[in-house]
Structure 1
């Protein structure tokens, strides 16, 4: 297999992921609907492609990490989409958080064309992407997973094959459900510390090392108390993820009250103009 990779989507996480592939010696070509967003990746050594079709024709590995399921559908199944233009034997890896059913549909369409498809959403935010410490949860054919493992190892550290197509997306829903309630607890704890007159920095130093410790507490609570609400992960994308999780849970007749409440609070923040803030902006809810 050659070292050429096509990469579609250079947002908060995608740009760092593409740059890490370049640093690892891969020849990377990129496409994004907003060329300006690819500037940093091109400066790092990537080449620009004019469309998903061009990416698909010229690379035998294609990675996508875009915004919403409808973006995934367009990029893969649209007229200029990957599956209409990729050669047989191409590996396509969607790292967007999307719906399990769409991952299964893409897998089936790819299989008809002799293309290997993996759904491989990630967790770890901008920091994990930058430092190549992402958790990567993978669904699809296990042989394809093994073939792509060297690429995954450039991007992350916790890389687990979860099962057939759609399994990666289902696992990401488990991840987002856990985060949703955790963010409520972290935001409320930091708000309580502030309003009770404690030094939030000292409180964080103490509780992050005990039973309350979590990734969100260690990485996002410091941003909260420093009033840093820049996105490591957009609120609007978290709302999208929680919506998918709620819909999937409903199909299974599973009650998820913590997830439901978290989405309701994030919806309120979005209505206040915070949709492009980082998820740590939930802290602001407790001061209005």
Structure 2
């Protein structure tokens, strides 16, 4: 199976490498060409533009940083729309809002192509291990055709119906994750200031009803103020902002998410945006 791949950031690079290692033929594109080097060493081809990747491949996956990047790759000069046509599928695995997904879907389908949004739950390590959770919505036939790729990239994929549902589900998941990380940060700080051992707090949490892999994975590094970026804080804050906007649209009160978002914004103002989202602990 031949697949195009647009975007080789922390997540995209790991995902494209997994496809290569599992026998897929992959053509990659990235704004910074140097990021393609390791993929080429593993057997990938390089497309000069998004349009050239679409032209070469029946299926093309995009994994981009935010809504503006997702729209740019589709609508700008040498973008996806210049070559998308009947029989070609476009799978956007970026985390964006439902409106952005809908705009891209409409443009792709007007050109005769078919579209699937498929944002993922998981960060760097699950991407490297092929253990992402894939939240797909859109063209059911395209979803079924992409299952071999999704089985390599993730441990489970869901088909959620119409375009927009995948984006909404991902925002809800990341909103909850951001609230949990903010709460853990406050708890660690409160324990420390109260004269308690922070690692002991983590041990207690891990034995109780709120035990979870994120606290176990991130907590020890947070105690050491060590934040290698598995999921950059700036992207977590972007997702909090988009989730709060979804709450506004649906008249859902979200005071906990709003407070957590302020903490992530503060962290960005402190220059922590490129560190892992657990760096909210510094606030």
Pairing partner for 2:81 from 80, 83, 86: 83
Q: Which runs of 5+ in 2 are unaligned?
A: none
Q: Deviations over 1:207-265 (max 9, x none)?
A: 12321212321222122123221111111111111111111211111111111111111
Shift of 1:109: 1.9
Map 1:1-288; keep pairs closer than 5 Å. 3-285=1-283
- Aligned residue pairs total 283
Shift of 1:90: 1.0
Q: Normalising by structure 2, what TM-score?
A: 0.95
Shift of 1:271: 0.7
Q: Secondary structure at the match of 1:258?
A: helix
In the alignment, the residues of structure 2 paired with residue 165 and residue 84 of structure 1 have an alpha-carbon distance, to the nearest angstrom, of 22
Q: Deviations over 1:136-181 (max 9, x none)?
A: 1011022221111111111001211111011100101110121121
In the alignment, the residues of structure 2 paired with residue 113 and residue 209 of structure 1 have an alpha-carbon distance, to the nearest angstrom, of 54
In the alignment, the residues of structure 2 paired with residue 119 and residue 222 of structure 1 have an alpha-carbon distance, to the nearest angstrom, of 35
Shift of 1:184: 1.5
In the alignment, the residues of structure 1 paired with residue 264 and residue 221 of structure 2 have an alpha-carbon distance, to the nearest angstrom, of 17
In the alignment, the residues of structure 1 paired with residue 161 and residue 180 of structure 2 have an alpha-carbon distance, to the nearest angstrom, of 26
Shift of 1:73: 0.7
In the alignment, the residues of structure 2 paired with residue 40 and residue 205 of structure 1 have an alpha-carbon distance, to the nearest angstrom, of 39
In the alignment, the residues of structure 1 paired with residue 110 and residue 7 of structure 2 have an alpha-carbon distance, to the nearest angstrom, of 25
Q: Normalising by structure 1, what TM-score?
A: 0.94
In the alignment, the residues of structure 2 paired with residue 205 and residue 28 of structure 1 have an alpha-carbon distance, to the nearest angstrom, of 43
